[in-house]
Each structure stands twice: as structure tokens, then as C-alpha cells.
Amino acid sequence: MRSAVIVFPGSNCDRDALRALAEVPGMKVGPLWHDDTTLPPETDLVVLPGGFSYGDYLRPGALAARAPIMAEVRRHADRGGLVLGICNGFQILTESRLLPGALLPNRDTRFIGRPCLLRVDRTDTPFTGAYQKGQVVQFPIAHADGRFYLPEEDLARLEQRGQVVFRYCDAAGRVEPSVNPNGAAHHIAGIVNDRGNVLGLMPHPERASDPRIGGEDGKGVWDSVVAWCQNKGKRSGHGHGF
Amino acid sequence: MRFRAEIIVALKGGVLDTQGKAVFSSLRRLGHLGLEDVRIGRVVSVVVDAPNAAEARSEVEAMCRNLLVNDLIEEARVDLEAL
Amino acid sequence: MDFKKAGLSAKEYEALVQELGRDPNETELQLFGVMWSEHCSYKSTRSLLKLFPTEGPAVLQGPGENAGVVDLGQGIGLAFKVESHNHPSAVEPYQGAATGVGGIIRDILAMGARPVASMDGLFFGSPESPRVRRLQDGIVRGVGGYGNAVGVPTVGGKTVYDPSYAENPLVNAFCAGVVSLDKMVSSQTARPGQKVLLLGSRTGRDGIAGAAFASVELSEDSQSSRPQIQIGDPFAEKLLIECCLELLEEGLVAAMQDMGAAGVVSSSSEVAAKSGVGMVIDMDRIPLREAGMTPGEIALSESQERMLLVVDPDMVNEVERRARRWGLECAPIGVITEERRYIYTSQGSVVVDLPPELIGGNAPIIPWESRPPHDGEERKKIPPTVRPSPEGWNDELLALLRDPNLRCQEAIFQQYDSMVQTNTLAGPGGDVSLIRVPQAKAQVAFSMEADPWKCFTDPFNGGAETVARSVRALSVCGATPLGLTNCLNFPSPEKPDQFWELQEVIRGMAEACRALACPVVSGNVSLYNESPAGRILPTPVVVAVGSLSDHDAPLIGGQGRAGDRVFLVGSPRASLGASRYLLRRGAPLRGTPPPFSGAWEADFSRRARAVALGRHARSGRIISGGGLAVALAKELLASEVGALLSLPLDWRWDEEILFGEGGPRAIYAVASEGVAAFRRLWEGWPLEEIGVLGGSRLRVDDVLNLSCDDLTAAWKGAN
């Protein structure tokens, strides 16, 4: 399996994502510069990492969404390839319209950097197959603009289609305003596109991939992707039609 | 011909403006008790070269669509003047 | 322009003319005005700083470069330094703090190191004041705004509140970086024929004469000095970091220097002086952001996010290509010459022609008068207090936990990203911050400490205690100290009693550094921190740095479990002098810490390290602000368990036992099966087994009885 981590000017968490993926058995991973125009052949997973691409100027992710490499990322997604956007990567995906919605400034207008509990609400995506439905996991957050927004009707449709994958919750898996760090609509921490092959989330699974730095819950994302890729050849084409 | 366009970008009405809220509280605390509402946007000022005002405006509106305005959450007004 | 306007005294001007052999022209005079300012030349403190021990087995680079460097093993070094940005933060909190963070990061980068950790020492007036809250908010946002965006984790820090900082807040920014020793650069390696390049942002009028601004007291009028404030761009800095590290990795750069205080002139003259060469710079080739700048303005501008590179002529094209790839401007601005003259040209003529060493070094040392304060002896006497009633001890402890100097600082440090780079093993909130450095197969521990109160009442012992506390924390963790960096924040040296304080603090710090074999590898001095409203307390800030191998388990606090036995190591009685307990109760700032004992400190450190590395305790922490009672409360809060304890209390000294501070002391939670080995390690030391962990209350004899919930509510309560 092969992954590519896109590096934009100002990306910070690219090296962290590269490191987490390099430790996944069977995974080849390398960086890809923002103004390249092709992905390495047979790339399974494209990762848009966290950080402050283009300084978050204009709107977080706005300039990166228009970088030359993004046309290729879109083609990859259209073909059914996997795309994972973490934090700034999620912002870039919404700005690119590869995912619906927008990420607005946090409710308290401050940056928040701390451990964070999430409930896994969908486990039939390529990114969450290794988790149990309703499982509570810990991926740290570190962002100032993580408040997910969609107009009400679109939000209802998103929920109806089961596109919400992660929600902020407490240790018992309860989802409620007091445990929502940034005011995100419906306490949404991560969503998937209609087709299920593009995932964006604000918390950082690559920061939860090593027990020494705070936990291994994030490894489930990489394990899920590996399992999904391995089964790809055997798939008959049902389900979410990749 | 050269034109300057001032693009005033604002959050759409239905979107919660947390920055505006924070600034509202600060201004009230500074004694501006008659204050009713604050919303925060941005001004983008561009200078373009175009044959006439209509084409200049059209060019600027394309810039808004392509990059400067996220129409899910923002709306904009363009003020154009010849230089 | 007369010399006074340039910021020089008559004596300094005379010395300058003497050395130069002629009068300087106007531009040259401007340069000296800034380069010979206190901030740039250390003219008031150079002789005192010589008291610090600067050598040690792990020291690869001592003071004198952009940062100090210690050896981590495996061909890897750690570069680190702490620096102040006090005056700008008082006038424009966000940008002052932000550019402080940016500046120290560039100092680390200039050694060829990748910045891997930041810490911040912040000192504010009383938090009830709305003005202080606004200052704090701006400064914290600035630290986070820059640090988070540039991708360097903020792993710890210290926040201190005292009325003396009300008009003179302090912002001390620390940064550490990892460098491969075969790729380390310096300012000493420039050779004739090489080209001088300016990489990064364009030059404007930011911060012109900012260095001189840092050397004067804040007048009523400082609000109007706005043009002096530099504006930071963390995005540009991130690009600079990645581009410079790439250039270094490929061996494309011969020497590097960051452009901090006094921009072009300080960086370039330093390279020339240290490398023993000359330099010619064409001012017209420096990319500008503003029209009509004079050569003097260009030279002194403190526009941020610029680096000076010295490059072999045949590498220049490649350097420019890499810069372009990273979206950075890179302009050839000059050349290194054999003849040791530092020359600026503009419009075809020479506008500056000076000996390089004269600009950067050699500002005549000012022999300020030193005299102990008239109330020196008074300061040392602990004021009499009315002991609380027996029922009052619980309230005293809760009040201390609520004290802004001791309470939980989550509200501040959760505005920082402490995890980016995924190397943070212990982030903000503990006595020690820890990162892993896989390339060196090591873990690195940092401890930032300050105790301005003890430095005021007893400068010598206060200075020693500050260094000692920082090293004790490393030792309890199991880390071997490698070196330390310090920032000396003081008021005006022109008042004899204040200069005496500075001298005594340095002497005390030096003594502790020697006793603990922890040399000073870098540092910074910030003087003139006073205003019409008053002077700051003498405030040395120390960051001691130590290491463990990657297979050692560091000993940190908060790991205690029910059933563990609790031990107090060190004297049960400590001093109430200049203690948080007394200050919180409104007592005047008086009283000394215990006298420093190098032998005791060294022995403590040795044994504490053995406890940690031998895994003879489950949890441990030093006793510091608030004394034993606060250390116990914090340990229970972090371990989420209560304790049933009995102290050797004597009604004559119970205050000293519960809340006294100073000296090498620690508390440990030890698993029952480990007690014998633990006791053996502390043989010969005052050691008290004081009880056991369990339940959900803190109970100490019939003196303290509080639920852990009450402790939590006080410590974490609404700020």
C-alpha cells in the first residue's frame, strides 16, 4: 500500500503524519509537494496534514485548496481513491468542496490544544473499520477554527446519509454541549463524503499513534485503511460503490 | 484603464459570528452600552487593469467566486472606482 | 546628529573616537548608538557575566553564539537559549510576545538546529486589574499565535504574578533545537571571497532603534513609540526554517546568522568580527518594503523573518533556486573580504567604513556603582505573623491553591499546541517538560524556574535557590543536567543598590551552577525594567536542561496509587522567608530562604537521580512554591487519590513545616515492596515516612482534612 502526504507551504504536521504511516507494516509513504501535478503511481491514500498552510491567510485552507496538486487529489477521489484530511487538511477539503461544510472560528475564539474524546459513529468506512460502533477514542485537538458549520437543511441531510463519522463526547460516550470544545454543529468532529472515500476530521489521529506521547487510539485509522486496501482486490463492488 | 475595487466580505446572516460576539462583549465592557450588534468581516482591496468598468467588475466578481469569497458562509459587495 | 541623540554618553563617544581614530559620520554614529546600547552590547553586565561557569563535559558551544549547544550523544546536539522581549510586549502585547517567540526560534535556527520545543516565562501584575488581564490576554495570544503557526510545540513555561510587574510585564521566550553536529553552523566560518545573501522578508522600518528602546525605561510617553514595534509573520518564519534546514542539509551554506536586534548591522558585523574577516555590503541591493529608507535605517531595521547567509560563490545559484521553491526572496547583498573592514556602499559611495570588532564588541564597560540597599538587613528578617487558628489550616491551603502563582494554568497552556512534532512526553503543567529526541536515542528534560521574591530579600541565596530548584526538578525526574540558560530581568543598573542586587544574584547563581556542575551555555540580560510606577523585583529566569537515555523511565509526579507509602525527603522545616504563604497573607516581602549549601544540593541531585533511574519510586516531585502542603495537594490532584498522613508537627513550627520553602526537598510515592531500597538510597538524609495514599481526602493529623474535590475546586476554579 502506498500513501502520499501533501506538503503545502506552512504545513506543520506533515512529518508527524509521515512518521505515523511509516510505522504501519506494509505501508509505503512519502511527501508530495503542493505544486506537483501527479500522484505517485498506485497511491492508495492521500493525506492532507494539519498545520497552517499559507499561514491560514484569507480563510484557513482557502489558498491550499487552489494549489496545483489539488486537481490531482480530486481526480484520485473521483476514481474512488482514499483521501484523509486532518485539521487544516479538513479545512482544505471543505474549501475544495470535496467535503461539505466549512470550519469556522471556535466558539470561544481561542486556540484549543488538549486531549479530546470522540465517539466513532460509523465503522463501515475505509478509515474506521477497525473500531466498534459507539467506541470512545482519544485523539488530541489543536485548532482555532474547528467549528463545523452547515446550514440546517444540509446538516439534516448529512445526518440522514450517515456521513458523520466522529463526534465530540465524554468518557461515557455522551454527546452534549458541555463536551463540545469548539461549538461545532451537532458536535461534529469528522465527516465522510457521500461516497465514503474522503474523510475529514479536526482531531489528530497521528498524535495518538504512540503510547508514549498520549495513546494509540489513532492507530485504528491506519489499520482500517490497510485492511480496506487489502480487501479491495476481493471486493465485488457492492456497498458504497468505490 | 486602472480600477480599484474594494470587496467587503461579510459572514452570511445565519452564521454565528463568534469573533463578533467577543468584540461585542469587550466594547460593552468599555462602556458602549448603546451597542446592539457587532459582526466582523474583511475588506480586500485590488487594483486591476481592464478596458472598462463593466469588465473590471466582471473580473473582480470572478476573483470573488474563484477565491476571495466562500459562498457557503460569506457574501460580498464590490465597490469599484476608476483610478 | 549629536552623540546624545544617537544614544551614546560623552564618555562612550570619546572612547569611540579614540578607537576609530576619527569622528564617525552620521550613519556610523547611528550604528554605534544602537550596537553600543545596553541590549546589544551588555556594557553594564559583561564583567559580571564572566562569573558564570560556562564549561562542562557536555558543552559544545558556550555563551557567545546565537545559542548554546550541549551534546546529547550519537553525534546530535541540543541548541537552546532564553531571551527577553519585555519592552515591546508592554507597548504592543500580541506582537511583542509573537516576535519574541520568533526571534528566539531564529537564534536556534542560526545554529543549524531544527527548533523542537518552546517555553515561555510570563510575569504580570495582579490579575484583578483589567489592564493586566488585557495584557495577559494579548501576550498569551501572541505566544500561541506565533508558536502554533510556526509548528514548534510549547511544552511548558511559568506564569508569575506580582504587583511590581504591573507596568513592566516580562516575556521571556525559550527555544531548543536539535542539530547534527556535522551540520552545525556558526558565525565563525565565513571566508574571504564568499558571498553575503539576505534570505526572507523585505526590509521596512519595523522596530528601528528598537534595541535602543529596550535600553531605556518606559516613560509615560511610550504609548507614542508605536513605530518601534516589529510585526511577526509566523508563516514566513516556517518557510525560513524549512528552507534554511534544507540548505544546511545539502551543505550549501558556510555561515548563518539571524537578524534580530539591529538587523543587518548586528548580524553582518558579528559574522565579520567572529570570522576575522571583512565585509562589503551594497545597501542598494537589500530588498525594501518601504520607499526612501536611508542606509542607517536599512541597517538598523528589525523587520522580522530574515536570515543572513554566507555562501561559496559557486553555490549561490542553487541557494537562490531553493529559496524560490520555498517562496522566499534571496538577494545577494555583499561579499566577504580579506581586509578587515566593515563597509557599506550606497549609490556608488562608501557610507560606512568601520573595524568589525569595534561595532559588535568592545563597547566600554560601564562601572556602575554597587552598594547594598539601606534596608538590606531589614529585608532578611521574617515578619512576625499571627498564626491561623487550628481550624484555619484547611482554608490556608485552599487559599494557596487558588493563588494565581500556584493555581492550575490550563486556561493559558491549552491555548498552545504542545504536541506538534509528536515528540512531547510530558507537556505543560508539571515541574518538568520532556521530549524525546530519537536521533540521539535520548529524552530531554526542561525545567523553567524563577523566584523573584527570594532574589529581592536575599539576592545571593535567591539566585542560588533559583538555579538549584531548576536542577532539583531535573534530578528528581532522573535527568542528568547538561547545562542551563538564563535571562536576567532587572531594573536600572544605574542605581547602586539595584546594581548590587544584580551582582549578588549572579554570584549566587554562579555558585549553584558550580556546585551542581550545570554550566551556563547561553543567556540574555534585560535591564531598565522600571517605570515611574516602580521597579520590577530582581527576576532571573533559569531553564536547566538535562537528558536521559531513551530506555530510562523518567520519574514524574501524578503517578501515585492507593497503597503507596508517602515519603518526605529533606528537612521537615523550611523557611517562611519570602514565601508564597506569607505573601498571600499580605505580609511584607521579607525573609530569606535557607542558606545555599552546594554539598547538600549535589548530594540530593545524585540520590534523586538514582531513585528515578533505579525505578525506586512510583511518583515524585520537588517541594517549591507553597511548601510541603501545596506539594502534597498537587500530587494528590495529579494522582487522583487521597492520603492519610502524619507530619512531625510541632506547634512552634507548624507553619514552617506546612508552608516553608527552599532547600533540596521532595515528596515521593513509593510502592510498599520498594520501600527498603528507597530508604537505602536516602541513608544519611533527613527522611520521614509520612503516610499512605488512599481514599479521597487529604488528611494530615488533625491539622488538614479536605476532600480531593475541594482541592480540585480551589486549584482549578474559575480564574
Enumerate the residues of chain A whose CB falls inside 8 A of the CB of residue B16.
104, 147, 149, 183
Q: Which of A52, A108, A143 to mutate to test the interface with C (most CBs of C within 10 A)?
A: A52
Mark which of C361, C384, C399 sits at the end of a domain: C361
Averaged pLDDT of chain C? 93
Q: Judge whether C280 lies within some domain.
A: yes
- For residue C202, pLDDT beyond 50: yes
C-alpha span between C397 and C405 (Å, rounded) = 13
Query: C616 catalytic, yes or no?
Result: no
Domains in chain C: how many in total? 2
**Measured between alpha carbons, how far is A31 from B43 in angstroms, rounded to an integer?**
36
**Rounded to an integer, what distance in angstroms lies between the CA atom of residue B73 and that of residue C655?**
60
Residue range of the domain that includes A220: 2-232
Is the pLDDT confidence value at C719 over 50? no
Task: Quickly tell me which residue has 506537483 as its cell.
Answer: A36
What's the gap in Å between the CA of A197 and the closest CA on chain C? 26
C179: which strand partners? C77
Residue C229 included in any domain:
yes
C239 with C298, same domain? yes
Question: Is A237 inside a domain boundary?
Answer: no
Q: Residue A240 domain-assigned? A: no
Note whether residue A87 is domain-resident.
Answer: yes
A15-43 per-position pLDDT tens digit: 999 999 999 999 999 999 999 999 999 99
Q: Are residues C288 and C356 in the same domain?
A: yes
State the pLDDT confidence band at A241, using cuts at 50, 70 and 90. Answer: very low
Q: Which residue of C has its CA nearest to A14?
A: C421
Query: How many contacts (CB atoms, under 8 Å) link A and C?
Result: 81
Taking residues C225-237, what's their average pLDDT? 77
> What is residue A64's DSSP assignment?
G
Tell me the nearest-neighbour CA distance from A48 into chain B, angstroms.
19
What pLDDT, on a 0 to 100 scale, did the predictor assign at position C569? 98
Residue C302 counted as domain residue: yes
Tell me, what DSSP letter sits at residue C21? T
Residue C498 has pLDDT above 80, yes or no: yes
Residue C631 near residue C472, CB atoms below 8 Å: no
What is the arithmetic mean of pLDDT over A178-189? 98
**Residue C521, SS3?**
strand
Answer yes or no: are the C-beta atoms of A218 and A210 closer than 8 Å. no
Reported as a single tens digit per residue, the pLDDT across C437-487 is 999 999 999 999 999 999 999 999 999 999 999 999 999 999 999 999 999
User: Is B18 close to A106, i.e. CB distance below 8 A?
Assistant: yes
Contact state of A95 with B16 under an 8 Å Cβ cutoff: no
Q: What is the pLDDT of residue C1?
A: 63
Contact B70 A62 (CB under 8 A): yes
pTM > 0.90: yes or no: yes
Residue C185 pLDDT level (bands cut at 50, 70, 90): confident
CATH code for the domain of C597 = 3.90.650.10
CA angle in degrees (0–180, nearest 5) for A20-A22-A23: 70
Q: Domain check: are C287 and C396 in the same one?
A: no
Amino acid identity, position C346? S
Q: Are C709 and C640 in contact (CB under 8 A)?
A: no
Check A87, A116, A169, A229 and give the catalytic one.
A87
Residue ranges and CATH numbers for the domains of chain B are: 2-82 (3.30.1280.10)
Q: Is the pLDDT of residue C241 over 60?
A: yes
What confidence tens digit (pLDDT) does each residue in A40-92 have? 999 999 999 999 999 999 999 999 999 999 999 999 999 999 999 999 999 99
Q: Which residues of A touch C326 (CB under 8 A)?
A: 9
C149 and A55: CB-CB below 8 Å?
yes
Tell whether ipTM is more than 0.90. yes
Quick check: is C80 in a domain?
Answer: no
**Mutation choice for A interface testing from C304, C415, C419 by most A CBs within 10 A:** C419
Instruction: Note whether A95 contacts B70, CB cutoff 8 Å.
Output: yes
Summarize the confidence of residues C664-686 as an average pLDDT.
Answer: 97
Note whether residue C379 is domain-resident.
yes
What SS3 class is residue C543?
strand
Cβ separation A102–B73 shorter than 8 A:
yes
**Which chain A residue's Cα is nearest to C145?**
A111
Same domain for C600 and C707: yes
Nearest-by-Cβ selection for C420 from A16, A54, A112: A16
C704 CB within 8 Å of a chain A CB: no
Under 8 Å between Cβ of C112 and C69: no
Domain end among C306, C329, C361: C361
Number of compact structural domains in chain A: 1
User: Does the beta-carbon distance from A105 to B18 stay under 8 Å?
Assistant: yes
C352 and C398 in one domain?
Answer: no
A206-233 pLDDT, tens digit each: 999 999 998 999 999 999 999 999 987 5
Rounded to the nearest angstrom, the minimum Cα separation between C534 and chain A is: 33
Q: Please list every residue in chain B whose beta carbon sits closer than 8 Å to the beta carbon of residue A56.
A: none
Please report residues of C whose CB lies closer than 8 A to that of A210.
Answer: 422
Which of C300, C330, C361 finishes a domain? C361
Amino acid identity of residue A156, one-letter, is: A
Which residues in chain B come in under a pLDDT of 50? none
Q: What is the pLDDT of residue C226?
A: 42
State the residue range of the domain holding C205.
1-36+185-361
The residue type of C461 is N
What is the pLDDT of chain A when averaged over all its residues? 95
Other Cβ atoms less than 10 A from the Cβ of C318: the count is 13
A22 contacts chain C (CB < 8 A): no
Task: Give the distance from residue A112's alpha carbon to the nearest chain B alpha carbon, in angstroms.
Answer: 15
Interface subset of C 213-252, CB within 8 angstroms of A: 233-236, 238-239
Residue C194 falls inside a structural domain: yes
Flag whether residue C118 sits within 8 Å of chain A, measured between CB atoms.
Answer: no
Contacts of C2 (CB under 8 A, 6+ apart): none
Strand runs (DSSP E) across chain A, as ranges?
2-7, 28-33, 45-48, 82-86, 102-104, 112-114, 117-120, 136-138, 141-143, 147-149, 164-168, 188-192, 198-201
Say which of A102, A109, A147 has its CB closest to residue B72. A102
pLDDT at C211 over 70: no
Q: Say if A102 is an interface residue toward chain B (CB within 8 Å).
A: yes
Shared-domain flag, residues C262 and C400: no
pLDDT given at position C277: 94
From A16's Cα to the closest Cα of chain C, the distance in A is 6
Contact list, C239 vs chain A (CB under 8 Å): 9-10
Is residue A169 flagged as an active site residue?
no
Q: What is the pLDDT of residues C80-114, one digit of tens each?
A: 999 999 998 998 999 999 999 999 999 999 999 99
Asked whether residue C398 falls in the same domain as residue C272, the answer is no
Chains that touch A (3 or more CB pairs under 8 A): B, C
By percentage, how much of chain C surpasses pLDDT 70?
A: 97
Mean pLDDT score, C570-584: 94
Is C660 part of any domain? yes
> Is C605 a domain residue?
yes
- Domain for residue A211, yes or no? yes
Asked about A204 being catalytic, the answer comes back as: yes
Identify the CATH number of the domain in which residue A194 sits. 3.40.50.880
- Considering the domain architecture, whether residues C238 and C380 belong to the same structural domain is answered as no
- In A, minimum Cα distance to B22 occurs at A109
Neighbors of chain B with 3 or more C-beta pairs under 8 Å: A
Contacts of B68 in chain A (CB under 8 A): 58
